[in-house]
A and B are shown apart, each in its own frame.
Chain A
Amino acid sequence: METVLKKVSHEIKDYKSDQYVRWCPGCGDHAVLSCLHKAMVALQLEPHQVAVISGIGCSSRLPYYMNTYGFHTIHGRGAAVATGVKVAKPELSVWLATGDGDSLAIGGNHFIHAVRRNVDINILLLNNKIYGLTKGQYSPTCDRGFVSKSSPYGTVEDPFRPIELALGARGTFFARCIDVDIKNTSVIFADAEKHKGTSVVEILQNCVIFNDDIHKEIVDKAYRDDRTILLKQGEKMVFGTNMDKGIVRDGFSLKMVTIGQDGYTLEDVLVHDATTVDNTLHLKLGLMDPKDGFPLAIGVIRNVDSLCYDQEVEQQIEDVQSKTPIRSLNDLLMQGEIWEVK
């Protein structure tokens, strides 16, 4: 269903609630909230046509700060509640604010099934690789060996990589962004809303108290340009301070090259296409890791049109109703196996 646009233009303040924002000073959540406000202005969504749902955790406080409909639910179940809202009222723009613990640990099942069904909701997955609200336990996105209050000797388990889960669940939209990168992040949020189906946006978010600088090696302005690549639809995959580095195909793998070196030219550099149904390349791009010398992919990695669950539910009802004269319970019962006592 088309997002409802109204002629009266909305400003940031129209999306802000009157509640005092209680996140820690310096928390990445502030920036995410700001990006969401900006995206809504760009989309000119009617505040009453927006529902922001959340589970439990620091990021899940976000609905309280939106002047829209908001529902702060229970741990891990936000995706299921959001699914219910969207199926009941497909005309609403439905967002889920969630974290790595909320969606990938306790709510993992709801997360993958929402993605599999392709319900038209936008999942903002704030990944700070820590449990903040319970004060510093490791999360399912922490690297092996991560030391935390609940892993004093380091974890002995490997993390989930959100794109693998999302694409493994047949995700049709996956994007990644950085909390403090307001300009790109707000555009990516708007892209997520425009996509019909479940949009998963992984946000590298900093927890200033319990896991400060966890993404620093990637997002610090000093080297962000060299360690990230902003993927843009239809554009060459080039990056770097001097925009002289590129991603090329190397057999079944990817390779990072410097344009003009080793015989590589701009011609060899891949062009990003988020819309291919085959997700092989999207997964490869999404799994590029600076530890292996690759830049981390930022931007909309995958964006494919497919049937949306909420629309299909409505369509099926319309189809059945167009072929039946039954309009009420009485109609239904009277056409069944009945007998009359006279």
Chain B
Amino acid sequence: MSDQVQIKDVQDIVIRFSGDSGDGMQLSGTLFSSLSAILGNQIATFPDFPAEIRAPQGTLSGVSGYQMQVGKSVYNSGGKSDVLIAMNPAALKVNAKHLKPNSVIIIDTDSFAKRDLEKADFKTEAPFVELSLTTQQIVAVPISTLTKESLSDFDLDMKSKIRCKNMFALGLVCWLFNRPIDVVNEMLSNKFSKKPILAQANLTVLANGYNYGQNRDMTVTSYRIESLNMEKGFYMDVNGNTATAYGLIAAAEKSGLQLFLGSYPITPATDILHELVKRKDLGVKVIQAEDEIAGVCTAIGASFAGDLAVTTTSGPGLALKGEAIGLAVMAELPLVVVDVQRGGPSTGLPTKTEQTDLRQALYGRNGESPIVVIAASSPTNCFDSAYWASKLALEHITPVILLTDSYIANGASAWKIPNLKNYPQIIPHTIDQYSGSDWNVATRDESTFARYWAAAGTEGYTHRIGGLERDYKTGAISTDPDNHQKMVDTRKEKIARIANFIPEQTVLGEESADTLIIGWGGTYGHLREAVELMNRGSKKVAFTHFTFISPLPKNTGDILRKYKKIIVAEQNNGQFAGYLSEQFSNLPIVKYNVVNGQPFTVSELTDFFTKEIEG
């Protein structure tokens, strides 16, 4: 290697692959993140794609990106990039704001002609000057031409050849990061196992990209990323949606129940449906329903018949399911509702991330309609959260809403394949748990208020349920005022008492600090990194992150009362802050709210926290 090449040892690095939505950037990104994970790095990824399937080529709206953070202590997909791969001017322009000084930009010079620049609304033919990218190191490579040349001997049409250019880019990145490409070779061979010629073409281009970097003596920073010693075991890459699907399957396996999904396709939740519908091998029953309402209603029917019943959706779908979830509250049936939050209101920003459905999850039904709400904190935590959502639904005979979001649903991390033996048991609260002989539809455990669930088809337990209020003792329809009050109180208390069955809240960071940072759900990674950065400096903070939202963990009040200042950071206008204030009076809360459809950035968080502590 040339001595001009400067090798930089780094802890964490942020890389963004960006191009047209048809440029294969998601594949390059996925391969590189998997490769890094296999080499012992922690990874967190974030695909950022346009809502349109194929927006006009070369335009700003058609840019598709795949960002990842790779390194030793990675909690999120990172803020500004150290390395940007920009396959066209539009990709450069869209990402210019998110580049660190002195970062590396790899461009395909073949797509930086005048016409390409115009499509991306550049006014001049000097894009870097126009974007004030003065400190960046530009690696300008005729990627398209070199890709075509690499494949001159291949019996492929020109379109197929050009499509391999993402592998040239990947090869360059592998060189930049001193990554052996043989692992990628294996992954590519598997991916294209049914089309050997394509596999061969991709491998050739990948190798040429790598060698190009190696041989050109480029004056550019090359990186060596520190890896960490991971716990022994088998690992795989998993994104949040797949982890959610696996968590549900695990819960079905552990509880001994059939898993049933009723769902209607909606971005960004559809991948859960895609995964579960493949799982006929594990006996999962799936109905792709005619609409969102039928999705939840078929699930409610399956729950009545004794299945672990699930419906998956995003914000607009949750709105449609509201009435039926209320039915599950009233009829007291177990049900898991997964809401992968996206930008709203209405159709909003379907592919972007937000935490704006919290209040909808908590209150979006008619009547006093308490429910369990859980929020997953990371891609891999989607597994545990889906497991817990199922456990609480089945053991307390109640609907549970699991909130994830577009960021963690599509983001991936390396995940240690879990041993289900280490997971808590799930014992559905069925008639098998009842020792008395006078069961009726209203019979409940007097300590948890969970009803004893009798699956339709069980001999000796025929019963009628429904959405009408019913008598506390007999379960028959009742309009008695005192009884209604008692039932309202019972339903509320049933959810409140679940606090006795969930883990206590823990505090991270500098527990003795005066300021407590609070987050919930998918912002965990960014908040955790921001908190660690703060605590390496002089402005110390404590941090607590909520997964269990309704009910809150028992010790929540004790924690909150310890701090002089509480900063609640969330991607909405203060929904969780408001919820906490409602439960605990006079909290010294400061709100940090960003609703721009993007994940938090760590630097914005630390700036705000620092200002608040100083102020």
**Are B459 and A80 in touch, CB under 8 angstroms?**
no
Stretch at the interface among A30-38, A272-280, A315-323: A315-323
Residues of A with C-beta under 8 A to B190:
337
Residues of A with C-beta under 8 A to B463:
69-70
Interface size counted on chain A using CB atoms at 8 A: 56
The CA-CA distance from A91 to B458 in the complex, in Å, is 12
**Are B301 and A333 in touch, CB under 8 angstroms?**
no
Residues of B with C-beta under 8 A to A49:
457
**Are B306 and A109 in touch, CB under 8 angstroms?**
no
Residues of B with C-beta under 8 A to A84:
260, 262, 287, 297-305, 309
Interface size counted on chain B using CB atoms at 8 A: 68
**Does B331 interact with chain A (Cβ within 8 Å)?**
yes
**Does B235 interact with chain A (Cβ within 8 Å)?**
yes
**Does B367 interact with chain A (Cβ within 8 Å)?**
no
**Are B305 and A80 in touch, CB under 8 angstroms?**
no
Select from chain B the residue with minimum beta-carbon distance to A50: B462
Residues of B with C-beta under 8 A to A199:
none
**Are A74 and B467 in touch, CB under 8 angstroms?**
yes
**Does B285 interact with chain A (Cβ within 8 Å)?**
yes
The CA-CA distance from A71 to B38 in the complex, in Å, is 51
* Contact (A329, B420) CB under 8 Å given A73-B327, A85-B305, A85-B456: yes
**Are B302 and A321 in touch, CB under 8 angstroms?**
no
Select from chain B the residue with minimum beta-carbon distance to A328: B253
**Are B417 and A85 in touch, CB under 8 angstroms?**
no
Residues of A with C-beta under 8 A to B262:
80, 84
**Are B232 and A73 in touch, CB under 8 angstroms?**
no
**Does B460 interact with chain A (Cβ within 8 Å)?**
yes
**Does A68 interact with chain B (Cβ within 8 Å)?**
yes
Contact with B along A80-91 (1 / 0, CB 8 A): 111111111101
Contact with B along A36-70 (1 / 0, CB 8 A): 00000000001111010100000000011011111
**Does A330 interact with chain B (Cβ within 8 Å)?**
yes
* Contact (A81, B456) CB under 8 Å given A63-B466, A87-B260, A109-B291: no
Nearest Cβ in chain A — how far from B311, in angstroms?
Answer: 10
Residues of B with C-beta under 8 A to A341:
40, 230-235
The answer, among B233, B457, B461, for a CB contact under 8 Å with A92, is: B457
The CA-CA distance from A333 to B249 in the complex, in Å, is 12
Residues of B with C-beta under 8 A to A321:
280-281, 283
Select from chain A the residue with minimum beta-carbon distance to B260: A88
**Are B298 and A72 in touch, CB under 8 angstroms?**
no
**Does A113 interact with chain B (Cβ within 8 Å)?**
yes
Give the A-B contact count at a CB cut-off of 8 A: 197
**Are A337 and B417 in touch, CB under 8 angstroms?**
no
Residues of A with C-beta under 8 A to B139:
none
**Are B297 and A77 in touch, CB under 8 angstroms?**
yes
* Contact (A329, B301) CB under 8 Å given A321-B283, A341-B230: no
**Are B306 and A88 in touch, CB under 8 angstroms?**
yes
Residues of A with C-beta under 8 A to B300:
73, 81, 84
Contact with B along A84-102 (1 / 0, CB 8 A): 1111110110000000000
**Are B301 and A82 in touch, CB under 8 angstroms?**
yes
Question: In this complex, which of A48, A84, A87, A89 has the most chain B Cβ atoms within 10 angstroms of its Cβ?
Answer: A84
Select from chain A the residue with minimum beta-carbon distance to B230: A341
* Contact (A334, B462) CB under 8 Å given A69-B457, A88-B301: no
Residues of B with C-beta under 8 A to A69:
304, 456-457, 462-464
**Are B282 and A326 in touch, CB under 8 angstroms?**
yes
Residues of A with C-beta under 8 A to B590:
none
Residues of B with C-beta under 8 A to A63:
464, 466
* Contact (A88, B232) CB under 8 Å given A48-B459, A320-B281: no
Interface residues of A in 84-140 (CB under 8 A from B): 84-89, 91-92, 109-110, 113
**Are B457 and A317 in touch, CB under 8 angstroms?**
no
Contact with A along B173-184 (1 / 0, CB 8 A): 000000000000
The CA-CA distance from A59 to B558 in the complex, in Å, is 53
Residues of A with C-beta under 8 A to B302:
84-85, 87-88
Select from chain B the residue with minimum beta-carbon distance to A65: B464
The CA-CA distance from A317 to B279 in the complex, in Å, is 9
**Are B457 and A81 in touch, CB under 8 angstroms?**
no
The CA-CA distance from A49 to B309 in the complex, in Å, is 20
Residues of A with C-beta under 8 A to B230:
341
Interface residues of A in 155-186 (CB under 8 A from B): none
Select from chain A the residue with minimum beta-carbon distance to B331: A71
The answer, among A17, A48, A336, for a CB contact under 8 Å with B461, is: A48
The CA-CA distance from A340 to B293 in the complex, in Å, is 43
**Does A339 interact with chain B (Cβ within 8 Å)?**
yes
Interface residues of B in 260-308 (CB under 8 A from A): 260, 262, 279-283, 285, 287, 289-291, 293-294, 297-307
Contact with A along B390-424 (1 / 0, CB 8 A): 00000000000000000000000000010010000
**Are A51 and B305 in touch, CB under 8 angstroms?**
yes
Select from chain A the residue with minimum beta-carbon distance to B254: A329
Residues of A with C-beta under 8 A to B303:
84
Residues of B with C-beta under 8 A to A92:
305, 456-457
**Are A340 and B457 in touch, CB under 8 angstroms?**
no
The CA-CA distance from A85 to B285 in the complex, in Å, is 12
The answer, among B304, B324, B327, B462, for a CB contact under 8 Å with A85, is: B304
Residues of B with C-beta under 8 A to A261:
none
The CA-CA distance from A156 to B461 in the complex, in Å, is 49
Select from chain B the residue with minimum beta-carbon distance to A69: B456
The answer, among B279, B326, B457, for a CB contact under 8 Å with A48, is: B457
**Does A313 interact with chain B (Cβ within 8 Å)?**
yes
Question: In this complex, which of B187, B231, B299, B300 has the most chain A Cβ atoms within 10 angstroms of its Cβ?
Answer: B300
The answer, among A17, A48, A64, for a CB contact under 8 Å with B458, is: A48
The answer, among B232, B299, B301, B417, for a CB contact under 8 Å with A338, is: B417
Select from chain B the residue with minimum beta-carbon distance to A112: B290
* Contact (A338, B324) CB under 8 Å given A67-B462, A113-B294, A329-B249: no
* Contact (A334, B417) CB under 8 Å given A77-B324, A81-B297, A84-B301: yes
The CA-CA distance from A110 to B264 in the complex, in Å, is 13
Nearest Cβ in chain A — how far from B577, in angstroms?
Answer: 33
Select from chain B the residue with minimum beta-carbon distance to A22: B477
**Does A7 interact with chain B (Cβ within 8 Å)?**
no
Residues of A with C-beta under 8 A to B490:
none
Residues of B with C-beta under 8 A to A70:
462-466
**Are B287 and A87 in touch, CB under 8 angstroms?**
yes
**Does A253 interact with chain B (Cβ within 8 Å)?**
no
The CA-CA distance from A131 to B90 in the complex, in Å, is 58
Query: Could you list 28 examples of A-B contacts with CB < 8 Å?
Result: A19-B476, A19-B477, A51-B304, A64-B464, A66-B464, A70-B464, A71-B304, A71-B331, A72-B465, A72-B467, A73-B327, A77-B293, A80-B293, A83-B301, A87-B298, A88-B306, A110-B293, A317-B283, A321-B283, A329-B249, A330-B417, A333-B234, A333-B236, A333-B246, A333-B417, A339-B37, A339-B236, A341-B231
Nearest first, the 5 A-B pairs at minimum CB distance are A84-B301, A72-B466, A84-B298, A80-B297, A70-B464
- A residues at B contact (CB < 8 Å): 17, 19, 46-49, 51, 53, 63-64, 66-74, 77, 80-89, 91-92, 109-110, 113, 313, 316-317, 320-321, 324, 326-330, 332-334, 336-342
For the complex with contacts A77-B324, A87-B302, A341-B232, 12 further pairs of A-B residues with Cβ separation under 8 Å are A70-B466, A71-B331, A73-B297, A73-B467, A81-B300, A88-B307, A89-B455, A328-B282, A329-B249, A329-B250, A329-B253, A339-B236
